[in-house]
Copies of this chain bind each other. A is one copy, B any other.
Amino acid sequence: MQLPKHVTLKEVGPRDGLQNEKTHITTADKIQLVNLLSQTGLNYIEVTSFVHPKWIPQLADAVEVLQAIKREKDITYAALVPNMRGLERALQADIDEVNVFMSASESHNQNNINKSIAETFPILREVVTGAKNEHKNVRGYISTVIGCPYEGYIQPEKVLRVTDKLLEMGVDEISLGDTIGVGVPTQVESLLEELLKRYPTEKFAMHFHDTRGTALVNIMKSLDMGITKFDSALGGLGGCPYAKGASGNIATEDLLYLLDEMGIKTGVNMKSLLEAAHFIEQKLGKTVASKQMAIVRNEGSANVL
């Protein structure tokens, strides 16, 4: 087994986690959540989204949250940005990294963004150019890289075509999302084999949802293929509001347990992370889908928190 010595966890809970939650989280609570996450040792936090509040009402306070959080110097604070109007607001809020997004599946792109893949490229190019002019890092999310709720299995070549375009625009890193959590390691292997023929591993992060319990097996396969950056959400929060059956991201604390026990360094402290997960669990008023949090509840929070 070829395992890296160090892995970077990219925390997407405040954005990908909360965007699909029906329980209203106050601006003050979002700020506290990000501040708690900033104390865990994470060095990347996706804080919010500049998608129009009509689509994601939970994150309508993006500017306020970004302006009020206490920033730590070693942490990159990122946000999702769909278009030039979003970029203006993100820059106004002094974002560190601009995250654009689209799908590898034509139907999912149409359903999620209301545009074809071809129509999406020029919009993203404008945002990437605008962000680069302001010397911002840009991340490109590609969703439905393995399966699509409308089209089923997505061929790796489709993902490669979108990857080519995004990297050519100047995107710094691609996050490959198994948005509906259908993938298995053999499919991850086919996908990465195709992409790594042309690009180095450093260009990619993997973003797995745990809908069918396969997120960690897919992460293990990705690690074995040299990938060292993974998206995750504390408490296993999240999901895609437009993808039927999609459930949460892999829980950061469950991924951290696996990496810790295999001796792979992340810099993240489990106890601080569980405190942040406990905080948002209380605010959401529901039991989050994380194995580590289940253990905390079973053993009594006094022991762990």
Chain A residues proximal to chain B, CB less than 8 Å: 1, 3, 182, 184-187, 189, 210-214, 216-217, 220-221, 244-245, 247, 251, 254, 257-258, 261-263, 291-292, 294-295, 298-299
Contact = CB atoms under 8 A, between A and B. Distances in A.
What is the total number of copies of this protein in its complex?
Answer: 2
Contacts of A187: 261
- The A interface, classified by DSSP as helix, strand, loop or mixed, is helix
Given A182-B261, A212-B295, A220-B221, 14 more contacts: A184-B258, A184-B262, A186-B263, A187-B261, A212-B254, A213-B216, A213-B254, A213-B257, A214-B257, A214-B258, A216-B216, A244-B299, A245-B298, A245-B299
A253 to B, nearest CB: 10
A1 B295 contact: no
Contact of A294 (B3, B220, B247): B247
B262 A185 contact: yes
Contacts of A182: 261
Contacts of A258: 184, 212-214, 217
A130 B184 CA distance: 44
21 contacts: A1-B185, A1-B186, A1-B189, A182-B261, A184-B261, A210-B291, A212-B254, A212-B257, A212-B292, A213-B216, A213-B251, A213-B258, A213-B291, A214-B216, A214-B257, A214-B258, A216-B216, A217-B258, A244-B299, A245-B295, A245-B299
